[in-house]
Each structure stands twice: as C-alpha cells, then as structure tokens.
Structure 1
Amino acid sequence: MKDQIEGAAKQAKGAVKEAAGKVTDNKKLQAEGKMDKAEGKIQGEVGKAKDKARDAVR
C-alpha cells in the first residue's frame, strides 16, 4: 500500500512539473515531469504486485 501511495504522489508531482514546463516552455522541466510520472506509475505497479504476493501467502 505504501508504494502505491508514494507512486501516486510521484505521478501527481510529475504532472505538475510537466504542466509547469509546458507553460514556461521549459523542455527540461517537462522531461523531468514525464520521468517522475513514469517512476510513479512503476512504483505503484510494484506496490500492487507486493500486495498481491502478500495476500497470496496469507
């Protein structure tokens, strides 16, 4: 659950960065935002997998 929450937060942070980059025409900030969103999505998926594995063991 922790990874899912942190992943969602990272995705939100990335979306804000990406939007700010678009508004200011800052390509570096846009790229950082996209990377943060991707990392957040991966972290969320890892969290889901951990939860499923934990539930399967119980």
Structure 2
Amino acid sequence: MSLSDKVENKAQEVSGTAKAVAGEATGDRELQAEGKKDQFAGRIKQAGEKVKDAFTKS
C-alpha cells in the first residue's frame, strides 16, 4: 500500500468523523449519516489495504 493511499483513506475517515460530529451538533441527521458512511468506508479501505500488505510481505 502506498503512502498516498494510506493518507487518502485516513483523510476520508477523519472527514467522516468531522461530518458526523457536525451533523450531531446541528441536528442534521443527513450530514451525520453521511459522516458515519465516510468513516466506515475509510476504515474498510484501510483494512483491505492491510490485507493486501500482509500477502505482499509474505
């Protein structure tokens, strides 16, 4: 996994966290849901890349 992929995935997760918090603070359920979706997507991508790394290093 390249460093840029790691950064992009982490950025997506952090952005999702910010959206979820902002949505919760403002009562915007749509923004909150979008943020949680982005968080989840970022985490899934990171997990997939870790699996690829494990097979590449073996």
Q: TM-score per shorter chain, which class?
A: 0.7 to 0.9
Alignment length (residue pairs): 56
Partner residue of 1:23? Answer: 25
Confirm whether residue 11 of structure 1 aligns to residue 9 of structure 2: no
Unaligned runs of 5+ in 1: none
- Residue ranges of structure 2 left out of the alignment (5+ in a row): none
Question: 1:20 aligns to what SS in structure 2?
Answer: helix
RMSD of aligned residue pairs (Cα, Å): 1.2
Q: Which amino acid aligns with 1:11?
A: E
C-alpha deviation, 1:6, in angstroms? 2.1
Bigger relative contact order (CA 8 A; separation at least 6): 1
The percentage of aligned residue pairs carrying the same residue is: 38
- 1:38 shift after superposition: 0.3
TM-score w.r.t. the length of structure 1 is: 0.85
Under a length normalisation based on structure 2, what TM-score does the superposition of the two structures give?
Answer: 0.85
